């Protein structure tokens, strides 16, 4: 739209310049405004020719020759008059066209343009700023409400309105505004959906009610492990005292490279949830020493399987962040398949792998450590990569 408005502005400037140039050049002529005087002038000259060519007047000039000269002069004057009229008519036509273009441009701009854009100037800095007051938010919200009423298809203004309502802690209104930003059938915008889910979550008092759950399910359909959505799922599970779900969602978030503040949150709630779980459940504690491993190995995978080969029963994956050692718990909360959980096996083997890619398949350069056959009864096993 910016390019459209810029093009229209350039066209208007060019048209005004054309109009000004036309007015500057237009000078109404008065050369032939008095036809009677012109006729009298030529009549006087004809009378003089008759006098000069009388038989009793000694004149070397022939009457016919003088009349021919007068006719030539008359034709020249008439042609000059016609040229002036054509130039005047052309100037008037140009000015008329220029005025028509100006009027048409103004009509088109009022229909497709954005005359009210100035009313929402700088709303982004107010909505996103850290020093925004409630008065600022109220003013911006009023302007944006007026804007979306006059331009219902303006999704950008609707998005800023939703952000302003969210910042004003009007979460229910914000959720409704975010819902209006997304267009059914179009590719969803993840930032809008996440903000929508957060507003619906807070509007329900910190729980995923039916509306909030619907938005979360929508996001998980195309971004199943988005950290901000997993955070909502974790908080909801904490409120409902569903400790195993807290571990499951937190572990899914920690498998990614995320911000340090988010990592601290998920690690904290995961440890707190595990502390609430029964110590007699089937699980294994694994301690991994990763000092001195090559720098290109940036991922750590730890998994348990019932045989020396075969699909894993439980998996933990973490990006290496400079720590010397890691401690994990393998239990049903991190099972690959609920139908094949670690509690379904009496004994397992534990494998630790430091990897370049972090994918399930081993690649050249990856390093592995294997445990002996272990009982799934809370045993702690230590694996180290220091000796390589």
Highest mean pLDDT among 12-26, 39-53, 211-225: 211-225
Residue 117 lies in a domain: no
| Whether residue 261 sits in one domain with residue 158 | yes
Domain final residue pick, 60, 88, 112: 112
Rounded to an integer, the average pLDDT of 86-91 is 57
Residue range of the domain that includes 221: 124-274
Q: What is the pLDDT, as a whole number, of residue 278?
A: 95
| Residue (of 371, 374, 372) closest to 346 by Cα position | 374
Number of structural domains (the chain) is 3
381 vs 206: CA distance, rounded Å: 39
Q: How confident is residue 117, by pLDDT bands cut at 50, 70 and 90?
A: very low
- Residue 327 exposure: Cα atoms within 13 Å on the Cβ side: 6
CATH number, domain of 243, equals 1.25.40.10
Give the CA distances from residue 159 to residues 105, 190, 258, 271, in Å, rounded to whole numbers and listed in that order: 30, 13, 26, 37
CATH number, domain of 323, equals 2.60.40
Residue 106 lies in a domain: yes
Q: How confident is residue 115, by pLDDT bands cut at 50, 70 and 90?
A: very low
| Whether residue 247 sits in one domain with residue 148 | yes
| Whether residue 266 sits in one domain with residue 290 | no
Residue 264 lies in a domain: yes
In 113-242, alpha helices (H): 123-128, 134-150, 155-167, 171-181, 190-203, 210-220, 227-239
Q: What beta strand segments (E) does the chain contain?
A: 283-289, 299-305, 314-319, 325-331, 347-355, 367-370, 374-375, 380-384
**Total residue count of the chain as it appears in this document:** 388
Is-contact 302 347, C-beta < 8 A?
Answer: no
| Residue (of 274, 279, 301) closest to 355 by Cα position | 301
352 vs 326: CA distance, rounded Å: 11
Residue 131 lies in a domain: yes
Tell me the pLDDT tens digit for each residue of 13-45.
666 666 565 555 555 555 445 566 666 666 666
Q: CA torsion angle for 144, 146, 151, 155 (degrees, to 10)? A: 20
Instruction: Answer yes or no: is pLDDT of 84 > 60.
Output: no
The residues with which 213 forms a beta bridge, in sequence order, are none
Domain final residue pick, 112, 137, 170: 112
| Whether residue 292 sits in one domain with residue 270 | no
Instruction: Answer yes or no: is pLDDT of 113 > 50.
Output: no
| Whether residue 299 sits in one domain with residue 247 | no
Tell me the pLDDT tens digit for each residue of 141-200.
898 989 889 888 888 889 999 999 999 999 999 999 999 998 878 889 999 999 999 999
Ramachandran angles phi, psi of 303, nearest 5°: -145, 160
224 vs 169: CA distance, rounded Å: 27
| Whether residue 91 sits in one domain with residue 213 | no
Residue 119 lies in a domain: no
Cα–chain-centroid distance for residue 264? 30
90 vs 84: CA distance, rounded Å: 10
| Whether residue 344 sits in one domain with residue 326 | yes
Give the CA distances from residue 231 to residues 153, 167, 234, 250, 260, in Å, rounded to whole numbers and listed in that order: 32, 19, 5, 8, 14
Residue 218 lies in a domain: yes
| Whether residue 251 sits in one domain with residue 190 | yes
247 vs 243: CA distance, rounded Å: 6
Highest mean pLDDT among 56-60, 94-98, 264-268, 310-314: 264-268
Q: How confident is residue 46, by pLDDT bands cut at 50, 70 and 90?
A: low
Is-contact 38 32, C-beta < 8 A?
Answer: yes
Ramachandran angles phi, psi of 334, nearest 5°: -120, 25
| Whether residue 286 sits in one domain with residue 270 | no
| Whether residue 153 sits in one domain with residue 72 | no
**Percent of the chain residues past pLDDT 90, beyond the cut:** 51
Query: Is the pTM of the predicted complex or chain greater than 0.85?
Result: no
Tokens, residue 207: 């729980």
| Whether residue 176 sits in one domain with residue 45 | no
| Whether residue 314 sits in one domain with residue 221 | no
114 vs 314: CA distance, rounded Å: 58
Instruction: Answer yes or no: is pLDDT of 352 > 90.
Output: yes
Domain final residue pick, 112, 142, 177: 112
Tell me if residue 212 falls in helix, strand or coil. helix
């Amino acid at each position: 739209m910016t390019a459209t408005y810029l093009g229209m502005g350039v066209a208007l400037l060019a048209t005004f310049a054309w109009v000004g140039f036309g007015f500057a050049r237009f000078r109404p002529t008065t050369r032939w405004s008095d036809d009677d005087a012109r006729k009298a002038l030529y009549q006087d000259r004809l009378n003089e020719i008759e006098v000069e060519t009388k038989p009793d007047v000694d004149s070397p000039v022939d009457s016919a020759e003088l009349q021919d000269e007068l006719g030539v002069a008359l034709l020249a004057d008439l042609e000059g008059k016609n040229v002036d009229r054509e130039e005047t008519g052309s100037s008037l036509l140009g000015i008329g066209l220029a005025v028509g273009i100006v009027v048409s441009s103004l009509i088109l701009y009022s229909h497709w343009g954005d005359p009210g854009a100035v009313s929402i100037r700088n709303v982004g800095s107010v909505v996103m700023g850290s020093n925004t007051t409630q008065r600022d938010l109220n003013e911006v919200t009023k302007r944006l409400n007026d804007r979306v009423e006059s331009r219902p298809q303006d999704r950008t203004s609707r998005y800023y309105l939703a952000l302003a309502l969210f910042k004003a802690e009007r979460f229910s209104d914000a959720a409704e505004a975010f819902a209006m930003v997304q267009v059914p059938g179009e590719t969803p915008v993840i930032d809008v959906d996440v903000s929508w889910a957060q507003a619906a979550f807070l509007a329900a008092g910190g729980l995923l009610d039916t509306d909030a759950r619907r938005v979360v399910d929508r996001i998980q359909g195309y971004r199943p492990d988005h950290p901000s959505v997993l955070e909502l799922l974790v908080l909801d599970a904490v409120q409902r005292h569903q400790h195993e779900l807290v571990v499951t969602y937190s572990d899914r978030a920690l498998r990614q490279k995320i911000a340090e503040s988010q990592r601290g949150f998920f690690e904290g709630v995961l440890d707190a949830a595990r502390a609430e779980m029964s110590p007699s459940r089937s699980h294994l504690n694994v301690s991994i020493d990763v000092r001195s491993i090559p720098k290109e190995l940036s991922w750590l995978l730890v998994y348990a399987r019932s045989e020396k080969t075969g699909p894993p029963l439980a998996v933990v994956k973490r990006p290496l962040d400079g720590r010397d050692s890691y401690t994990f718990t393998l239990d049903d909360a991190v099972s690959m398949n609920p139908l094949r959980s670690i509690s379904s096996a009496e004994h397992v083997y534990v494998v630790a792998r430091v990897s370049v890619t972090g994918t399930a398949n081993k690649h050249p350069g990856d390093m592995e450590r294997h445990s002996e056959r272990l009982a799934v009864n809370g045993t702690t096993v230590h694996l180290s990569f220091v000796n390589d």
